[in-house]
Structure 1
Amino acid sequence: MEWRTVEIRDEKGDGFDTVQCEDMVFPKQFLHIQPDVRMKDIKEFKYRDGDVLICSYPKTGTHWVFNLVHFLMAPGPVEQKIMPSPRLIDLHPLAEIEQLTSPRVAITHLKPNRLPVEHLQARGKIILLARNPRDTMVSHMYHTQRHEVFNFSKLSWDCFFDNWTKGQIPTGSYFDYYNSWEKSLQEQNTNLNVHIVFYENLIKDGLGELKKLQQFLGVTNTEDRLNQILDRCSWRRIKVDVKTGEQPAQPDQSELTRKGVIGHWRSKFTVSQDEMFNKILEQKFKNSMFNKPI
């Protein structure tokens, strides 16, 4: 693999560096963990019965759903449990994930062709998250501003918009990511075991979505406990936990959560950007199963 450095800068020179190879885009710091070796090790990661992969494009509700899954699968009083640190197989030491107690839950922003082969062959459970691309883009921008891996970027919104729509922001193109998943799900020889969670549905009907999710996971929680889980994992509670220190120390924890609302993109998009984005959707995403109205 040949990785090239690409600078993302606005007219003032603000921004950050990325490294890109084939269809992959990562922050430049990714080079420190030997990306070629990492991609190979991920594909060869050994499957264990009960493993769950949460697959998503960044800022589509990954951390939120990780917490929900944890409480769904961990019996006992909800209020007495601490939220665990998410394990991102793209960056987290794989040896630590290997040693987790079953059922292991890990997250990834990689496309299906780069996932652990044994997990796919064994029909391991995959939870695929999706969110309206406009809100995803805005949340992604705020994430880069608050995260040290992006040098707390002050990249202008116009420049971010341009690079995000072109797939130049880690982890690459939103549209290519979901189109690759749709292609994999529709292939005649596919045997994927995937449950799709739409962020907006989870916001609007959390209880109903949790019932579907626990059925997919093969676990049972009373409706009262499901409501407790929804409250425990709410944006309000997570932010309070971060401030009071009730959650375990996690780097960038505060950067993982912000507003969690639907339609916040309207505060950033100009009329011309909205029109331009509609054309992009028409070209790249018109008939996609992930292109849901908001």
Structure 2
Amino acid sequence: MASRAEEAMKCGFDMPLVTYEERITTTLSLPHLLTMKTRRLREDDIFITSYPKTGTHWVWEIVNMIVAGNAEYAKHWQNHAFLEYRSEAQLDEIPSPRVFFTHLLPRQMPEEVWERKCHVIHIDRNPKDAIVSFYVQQTNQNWINKSKPAAFTGTWDQYVNANILGTVTFDSILGHVLAWSRIPELHPAVPYCQVQFEDLKKDDVAEVRKLSQFLGRPLADKVYVEIAEACRFDKLKHASENLKDQTFHNRWNKGSTGYFRKGETGDWKNWFTVAQSESFDKAYEETFKQTFPY
């Protein structure tokens, strides 16, 4: 019987994948996952948790600016703080307070996150929009084997179905969201903040203020506005591709928009067929015991 990772590769994921702790991951991250739970942390570490393509770059940059107290961009690409793709020694070089981001599930996180009561910020987004964005990324990027055409070479229908089944890299977005939604109940003493992509789109200044207050780092009202403006799509895209140290910037196929595609809401309607949307809605309802809210 094929493993879930093997099933993922059969449906079009053209990269080395393994099943570790019942979750599909890349072989590249496996060495770091083996030591993840016992990693040593600092009490002022900040964790941004998300499923890919839900606004991770956006929130990571905002939080770094809040920590710095101004609207200056962080020097490096956020990938230098990618928890499951960096060794403990590499991450130890980052000065405090460290702002990590991760796509791991709660049960895969370092135990000291909960013991030290580190601040955790989780990002959610309409999962259909996230799936579309991740599909575009994975059909235009291959950062593991440059000789391959792309990380995913299957069809859009295969990709949607794989997300429903959970046979995708990082597993299904539904299981990811469900697991993180339970943190306030499982770890009530851990400072936990929920950020919604769609709320950031509606009022980014208010969301910057909320994050600042959550982190216990209040700033002047004008700084909230400056941070929000600096982190809007076009400006952050320009800064990330032209101003930042490019050491941790992955390469893309010619013509790709890279990490920054559209940054909009509702694009899923241009991709999902009626049948695909209904299938996903059913899977959502089975997972969360409620109707699809978007």
TM-score (norm 1): 0.86
Answer yes or no: is the 8 Å Cα contact 2:49–2:123 preserved in 1.
yes
Q: What is the aligned partner in structure 1 of residue 254 from structure 2? A: none
Q: What is the aligned partner in structure 1 of residue 21 from structure 2? A: 22
Deviation at residue 67 of structure 1 after TM alignment: 0.5
Given candidates 134, 139, 146, the residue that maps to 2:140 is 146
Answer yes or no: is the 8 Å Cα contact 1:53–1:105 preserved in 2.
yes
Matched, 1:41 2:35: yes
Matched, 1:260 2:263: yes
- The letter of the residue matching 2:32 is R
Matched, 1:231 2:221: no
- The letter of the residue matching 2:39 is F
Cα 1:7–1:198 shift into 2, 3 Å:
closer
TM-score (norm 2): 0.86
- Write out aligned runs for 1:74-113 (5 A): 74-76=68-70, 78=71, 81-86=73-78, 87-113=81-107
- Provide the secondary structure at the position in 2 that maps to 1:20: strand
Matched, 1:70 2:64: yes
Q: What is the aligned partner in structure 1 of residue 55 from structure 2? A: 61
Q: 1:23-47 deviations in whole A, cap 9, x for unaligned?
A: 31123x42xx5x2x52242211212
Single out whichever of 133-142 and 253-262 deviates more from structure 2: 253-262
Cα distance in 2, alignment partners of residues 7 and 49 from structure 1: 37
Answer yes or no: is the 8 Å Cα contact 1:135–1:263 preserved in 2.
yes
Given candidates 278, 284, 288, the residue that maps to 1:285 is 288
Q: What is the aligned partner in structure 2 of residue 215 from structure 1? A: 213
Answer yes or no: is the 8 Å Cα contact 1:4–1:20 preserved in 2.
yes
Cα distance in 2, alignment partners of residues 82 and 126 from structure 1: 19
Q: What is the aligned partner in structure 2 of residue 167 from structure 1? A: 166
Cα 1:267–1:38 shift into 2, 3 Å:
same
Q: What is the aligned partner in structure 2 of residue 115 from structure 1? A: 109
| Identity in percent | 26
Cα distance in 2, alignment partners of residues 75 and 21 from structure 1: 39
Answer yes or no: is the 8 Å Cα contact 2:5–2:24 preserved in 1.
no
Cα distance in 2, alignment partners of residues 190 and 221 from structure 1: 27
Answer yes or no: is the 8 Å Cα contact 2:285–2:292 preserved in 1.
no
- Provide the secondary structure at the position in 2 that maps to 1:53: strand
Answer yes or no: is the 8 Å Cα contact 2:62–2:228 preserved in 1.
yes
Deviation at residue 239 of structure 1 after TM alignment: 2.4
Which structure 1 residue ranges, 5 or more long, are not aligned?
Answer: none
Q: 1:53-77 deviations in whole A, cap 9, x for unaligned?
A: 111111111111100101111034x
Which structure 2 residue ranges, 5 or more long, are not aligned?
Answer: 252-256
Deviation at residue 110 of structure 1 after TM alignment: 0.9
Answer yes or no: is the 8 Å Cα contact 2:4–2:24 preserved in 1.
no
CA RMSD of aligned residues (A): 2.3
Q: How many aligned positions are there?
A: 278
Deviation at residue 266 of structure 1 after TM alignment: 0.4
- The letter of the residue matching 2:260 is T
Cα distance in 2, alignment partners of residues 83 and 66 from structure 1: 12
Deviation at residue 181 of structure 1 after TM alignment: 2.1
Cα distance in 1, alignment partners of residues 59 and 22 from structure 2: 26
Q: What is the aligned partner in structure 2 of residue 248 from structure 1? A: 245
Cα 1:23–1:204 shift into 2, 3 Å:
farther
Q: 1:191-224 deviations in whole A, cap 9, x for unaligned?
A: 3221110111111111111111000111122221
Cα distance in 2, alignment partners of residues 241 and 178 from structure 1: 29
Cα distance in 1, alignment partners of residues 162 and 217 from structure 2: 41
- Provide the secondary structure at the position in 2 that maps to 1:181: helix
Q: What is the aligned partner in structure 2 of residue 178 from structure 1? A: 177
- The letter of the residue matching 1:167 is G
Matched, 1:275 2:278: yes
Cα 1:185–1:5 shift into 2, 3 Å:
same
Answer yes or no: is the 8 Å Cα contact 2:77–2:249 preserved in 1.
no
Single out whichever of 152-161 and 56-65 deviates more from structure 2: 152-161
Cα 1:259–1:214 shift into 2, 3 Å:
same
